[in-house]
Structure 1
């Protein structure tokens, strides 16, 4: 088996594992904690209110107000909160996810709000759309699970129209959580050459589980963490790349701070997530 065939076989295994894991909607644990047991309009409204209140900066990084009349692709659909907001703001919405569950939920959301567009199954690594199709691409917490963040960003670039934009959120390799769980590895990563970065899966199951776990307690099968410098390098083909950190959890001494205070004080420096605004 040659190298290309071997890489293709490995990627198929990654895609299969992701389809199985993410078929349980991202946010299922949250929904259960809120007492949500169905997908009624009222239940989804309750979920969205909590979600958007917990991540208030999401509306800062995703320019919903500019989407009217635009063709927008969302990659990684989860519980459908972002999908519904994009459609409600007048976009022609397209959703893409490797798992059937999120695709079904996004289409349900579109129907509920009489939105224009459709969600389909598929991988961003082989996105079933022609070059320069979309005005904007939104990928919140998804590209780092593909097994090939570098290729995923290249596909985002291909799919955008000239001067089109994107909002991409990926996990920060230099966050406070990384420093707590593995300080030596994190400091070495911070000093590494970003130009030498190669996409790879985080081998520490404990680390993957700290960010994404299903009902059975298993971590996501594929999770990639990057530094700001590495992300900027991977996005070097774009004409503009602006990166900011967000999101602080409640571990250790952080539980004594309100979330808003912790995010304000530490989020921009050691946040869990990197939000990247891109322009082709």
Structure 2
């Protein structure tokens, strides 16, 4: 029996010159060649289809990802406002005294300080910086034109230190509990005035009997006039501030309240009403 030893490159020439070979041997080798050629091309076809399937899936996944980003609530929000409100202990006030070994810092010395220690202030006055030191802080990102306008809310927990009143050394560190802080959004409806309600309450974590700092009120957002105002209540101590930014632009003050002269942490038990004028955010 004759064995076919032609390689793939020689095969086409052999086919063309089959008359120069014995018919039986040439036919057998031709059949082997075409069988091998069909098998090779079948494998190549499967591989090509597999590669195309992977490419199609990757393209589909990319399109889905782009669609999710484009049509997410944040992406659809055309007019985003960032509203933040805080309570902080001012560096300069009748209620504070120098903080030893601090290079100019101040602290609050409450009744019973010999037991619980003293507490550093936030070492500042009013600030538009969104992450400025504070005792209670709440931040909301909203699109007031959307029915579900509250896109995101944050309630940062700041560290509260108790220090030795004599030398200023830290004797305890704690994080403020933010579980009692929440924004609620009410859509504008036919009134064209959306409401952003805030409840925020937090107390000094170093002293479990300390009264809480409380903020309760509503930000009224007028979609027609592009203004915002606050109406509610805060405690008579410490200082309070609120700001709004439009699409990441410069922060505009909504309220800035310094505690009255002579007020101390003991006045946390008493509230006062707050009603601001409307300010333009756009």
**Above 0.5 in TM-score?**
no
- Superposition TM-score, scaled by structure 1 size: 0.22
- Superposition TM-score, scaled by structure 2 size: 0.22
Asked which structure has the greater CA Rg, the reply is 2
Structure showing the higher helix proportion among its residues:
1
